[in-house]
Every structure is written in structure tokens, then in C-alpha cells.
Amino acid sequence: MRVTDSMQIGNLLRTNARMKTQLAARSRTAATGSKIAAPSDDPVAAARLARVQAQIDRTTAYRNTISSVKPDAELAESSLAVAQDIVKRANELALMGANDTVNAQSRIDIGKEVAELHKQLLAIANTKGNTGYLFAGTATTVAPFDAAGAWVGNINSRNAEVAPGVTVNFNINGANAFTVSGGRDILADFTALETALNTNNSAGIAAQVTNMDSAHKQLGTSRTEAGVLLARFETADSTHQLVEVAQARTRASIVDADPVQAYTEFNAAQTMLEQSMSVTRNILESLRNNKLT
């Protein structure tokens, strides 16, 4: 084959251009640490990345949901614990008041403490968390118990998806915790106890001892529900943490370039370009000098 000047020059230009393109690609990978800049770099990996990214987004959503609702569940659990303490104290006071040795004035004095406990219990039943009134169902903007202790909330559940296909009711049913739906209308029992103490009604006081005992159990049941809910959140979040790590690893395996390989390939490309430029220099030199004089 005849080798002409334009062939030589053309080949040099094309080879150098190819080497520069290769170097640009290798330097991009080495500098960014990413082996996929566009879908065409690896179509299968790019499609996989879109799906993995969606899974990562969902895991993030689950964890955000849990972190949003968990404080209110914790608050509900601790509120119910305090409510149980109040009821327990009321039970003790009822027992004290029921004793026949206690006179009418003493019962009125005990009634005053019960009234105070009643107010505290009403405040707890109307506890407001980050997402509204805790025991109001979905009527989160209105206190579930009015000043007289009457139930004005609803029993709708508030739900959130905390794991794939796992929807949980993240609010505690206020009606079950405090009203007759759960067995006893606790606030009404407090009113009845107060009345019995103030009217020196021994039988009425004695009746409330049993009721307070039932109320304590009723609140305990709701508190257990809150505890179970918190445990579910903990378990789900722990699982999500593991999933998150696995998903991040999967994403990294798709996107991240191996630094050693990337840098080695970059160096190889740089060396090849330098060699190509050196060959170019030599050939141009020979084209310039190697003529008959």
C-alpha cells in the first residue's frame, strides 16, 4: 500500500482525537468517582439505578414517617402512664374515703384532691402532640373532651405505611382509653367519686374503688397498645436501617467507580496519549526533514 502524506496526517489526527476522547472519559470517571454519567454508559445499570433509587426513596419515606409519628406515640404512652398514676392515686383516695372512720369534713378534703386529679386527667386526655390532639381520632384540631369531660372526638384511626405493605394505626383510640367504650367512663367516675366524697356517701365512694381499679386496667390496656406501637416502630426502623445500608451498597455498586481501577485507567489513557503525541512529533519531524535535498 502506498503511504501518502494525507494518510499519515489523517491517521495521526484521528488517533490523537481518539486518545483525547478516551482520556476525557477516563478523567471524568476518576474525578467524579462515578462510572455512569449518562444512561448510554451502561443502559442496564442506568435502568437498575432508577429502580434502586425509587426503593431508596421509599425507605427514606418510611423512616421519615416513623420519625414523624413516633414522638406522638411516645407521648401517648407516657401520658397514659401518668393517667394510670392519677387513677391509682384516686383509687387510694377512694379507699381512704370509703373507710367508715373518716368523717364528712375529711371526705370533703379528700374530694378536693380528687377534683385536682380530675383536672389533671382531663388535661392528659386532651394532650396535644406534634400532629394534633393525641386521643381525638382524626378530629385532631379539637380537644376530644370538653370542659365537662364529655367525649367530642371520634374513633377514626390515623394510618401510615411504615414498611412495604404494612399500614399501622398510629393513634391511640381515646374513646377506648377514657370512655365507656373501653369499659369505664373514667372522667365520669372521677365526677361520681368527687360527688360521693362531697356528699359523705360511703356506698358511692366504695363503688368508685372498684371503678377506679377497672379504670386503671383500662388505661393499662391502651398504654400497652401504645407500647406495642412503639415496639413496631422500633422494629420497622431497625429493619429500614439495615435495608438502607444494603440499598446504599447496591447503588454504590451500580454507580461508583473503583478508585484504583479508575485512576489506573486514567493513567493508562494519559500514557497512551503521550505516546501518541510522541509518535506524532516523530512522524511530523520525518515529514519535514526526510526530503531529498
Partner 1 sequence: MSLNGLFGLSRDALLANAYALNVTGQNVANANTRGYARREVQLETAPSGTATFGGVRARGLERITDQFTDNRYYNAQGYQASTDTRQSSMQAIDELFSDVNGLGLSDSLGGLFNAFSELATNPNDLTLRTNVLARTDQLCERFRSTATQLTRQRDELLSQARDSVKQINTITTSLADLNQKIQAAQGTPGDGADLKDQRDRLIDDLSKLINVETFVDSSNRFVVRGGGVTLVEASGAVTTAVALDGAGNLKFTYQGTSVASDFTSLITSGKLQGLKIARDSDAAQVQTSLDQLAFDIGTAINTQHAAGFGLDGVTGRNLFNVVAIPGTAANLTVNAALVGQPSRIAAASTAASLPGGGDNAVAIFKISDTKVATGNTRTPSEAYGDLVGDVGQRGQAAKMDADVRTAMAEQSTNLRDSSRGVSTDEEMITLTKYQRSYEAASKLLRTVDELLGDLIRIRG
Contact window for partner 1 (CB under 8 A) among 49-57, 79-87, 97-105, 143-151: 49-57
DSSP SS3 for 167: strand
**What does R_g of the chain's alpha carbons equal in angstroms?**
38
Contact letters for partner 1, residues 157-196 (x by CB under 8 A): -xxxx--x--x--xx-------------------------
- Structural contact between residues 125 and 145, judged by C-beta atoms closer than 8 angstroms: yes
Please tell me whether residue 245 binds partner 1 under the rule CB under 8 A.
Answer: no
- Structural contact between residues 240 and 57, judged by C-beta atoms closer than 8 angstroms: no
C-alpha cell at 10: 489523517
Residue 155's closest CA among 131, 189, 180, 130? Answer: 180
Among 22, 78, 120, 131, binds partner 1 (CB under 8 A): 131
Contact letters for partner 1, residues 260-289 (x by CB under 8 A): ---------------------------x--
Please tell me whether residue 3 binds partner 1 under the rule CB under 8 A.
Answer: yes
- Please spell the DSSP secondary structure of 14-57, one letter per residue: HHHHHHHHHHHHHHHHHHH-BS-SSGGG-HHHHHHHHHHHHHHH
Please tell me whether residue 27 binds partner 1 under the rule CB under 8 A.
Answer: no
Identify which of residues 6 and 105 has a Cβ nearer to partner 1 in the complex: 6
CB of 264 to partner 1, least distance (A): 22
Instruction: Using CB atoms within 10 Å of the CB of residue 190, give its burial: 0 to 12 exposed, 13 to 18 middle, 19+ buried.
Output: buried
Residues near partner 1 (CB under 8 A): 1-7, 9-11, 14, 34, 36-44, 46-51, 53-55, 57-58, 60-62, 64-65, 68-69, 130-132, 136-141, 154, 156, 158-161, 164, 167, 170-171, 255, 287, 290-292
